Amino acid sequence: MQFSEIIGQDETKQLLLRAVQTNHLAHALLFDGPEGSANLALALALAQYVNCEDRQAGDSCGRCASCIKTQKLVHPDLHMVFPVANLAKGKTSEAYLADWRSFLLESAYRTLPNWLESVNADNKQGNISAEEARNILQKLSLKAYEGAYKIMLIWLPELMNTSSANALLKVLEEPPAQTLFLLVTNQPDKLLITILSRTQRVAIRAFTDDEVATYLRQHLNFDETTARRLAYLADGNLAEALSRSKQDTASVEQHNWFAEWMRTCYRQDLIELVKQADQFDGFSKEKQKGLLEYSIRLYRDLFLWQQGAAELLRLPDTEMAFVKNFAKILTVNHIERIVNDLNESAYHLERNARAKMIMLDMSLTFSRLIKTKL
């Protein structure tokens, strides 16, 4: 991560750059910022800067061997500790290092729930265990391999249990030479006072709506209006904006698939319906369930529209157009039967019935039903 990749935050960047350039960098920094802020990104940019072999005045070079390894999160002097769940006894977060790298490479603006979900532990609580503290000590007893600094980046140190926090405190009191601690926190009030007093706080503000919108436009190619809307809803939390943008993209995909399916049913195009059933069969179980849920939701909206409750509908334009069109063809009786069928199919899908058969069955029923007067 380079400083230039991070939107805004100029004062903080200058502060960090100056500290390195004047040799005034504290050995332990606390990047304190709200969820979805640039705290982790700035810590990573600093890690890259201090070990860059060709430091520029305003940023790391981004091209030297050290920068490239840090960017890929594989620099041997960059150690990372993060909360995990479901660890087998005697294991540390290192067991999840490969997952962690790909999680972080996707974006440095993520949350604990994002992380736990990505390793299928979303119903668990993450924490940093006592075992982890031993791991930290052991790593720091090694000499720096390549870089000027050995870096220990701890994401969410507030999730350390007492014994790991105490072990960390000991190292912070007597830090090994040329070691830089980068603690990245959302909740500094949950840290031991003694840890707080051993670290230099770097206050990081939330992103502004403008900054979030700019990020969405530049990195995800969202148009101005969508970017503004998502930024407004996320209220300065970039991680939240990214989750919302994923849902947004997913629901556009769902709508396109659903609309195509319904049009094919209306045309009674059997060959195409078999193809769609095959395609559906190839989707993940989650995606299949998502599509059925989406279909049910849209038929409920259609029902509301027909009942004259149009003002209750908050639908994007494409979905609204579909609702208006199909409202001309279908009656309440149609909708009731279709929703029942969709619910039943979701039930069978959940119990591992063959997705292709379920889909084909529904398609044939709907093709007939749509053309029947009810």
Binding region for Zn ion (CB under 5 A): 52, 60-61, 64, 67
CB of 59 to Zn ion, least distance (A): 9
CB of 52 to Zn ion, least distance (A): 3
Q: Where are the beta strands (DSSP E) in the chain?
A: 28-32, 78-81, 150-155, 179-185, 200-203
Report the alpha-carbon distance of residue 370 to residue 206 in Å, rounded: 51
Query: Residue 52 or residue 184: which is nearer to Zn ion going by CB?
Result: 52
Query: Residue 67 or residue 227: which is nearer to Zn ion going by CB?
Result: 67
CB of 298 to Zn ion, least distance (A): 51
CB of 3 to Zn ion, least distance (A): 12
How many beta carbons lie within 10 A of that of residue 315, not counting itself? 16
Amino acid 54 reads: D
Report the alpha-carbon distance of residue 175 to residue 180 in Å, rounded: 9
Residues 6+ positions from 4 with CB-CB distance below 8 Å: 58, 59
Question: 250: number of CA atoms within 13 Å, CB side?
Answer: 14
Query: Residue 64 or residue 304: which is nearer to Zn ion going by CB?
Result: 64
Q: In which region does residue 79 sit, left (phi positive, over 0), alpha (psi from -120 to 50) or beta (all else)?
A: beta
Nearest to 333 by CA among 361, 368, 369: 369
Query: Residue 37 or residue 60: which is nearer to Zn ion going by CB?
Result: 60
CB of 69 to Zn ion, least distance (A): 10
Query: Residue 45 or residue 154: which is nearer to Zn ion going by CB?
Result: 45
Nearest to 186 by CA among 263, 281, 111: 111
Query: Residue 55 or residue 79: which is nearer to Zn ion going by CB?
Result: 55
CB of 2 to Zn ion, least distance (A): 9
Cβ 241 vs Cβ 231: under 8 Å: yes
CB of 60 to Zn ion, least distance (A): 5
CB of 66 to Zn ion, least distance (A): 6
Find the angle CA(148)-CA(152)-CA(158) to the nearest 5 degrees: 155
Query: Residue 64 or residue 369: which is nearer to Zn ion going by CB?
Result: 64
Find the angle CA(237)-CA(240)-CA(245) to the nearest 5 degrees: 125
Query: Residue 57 or residue 193: which is nearer to Zn ion going by CB?
Result: 57
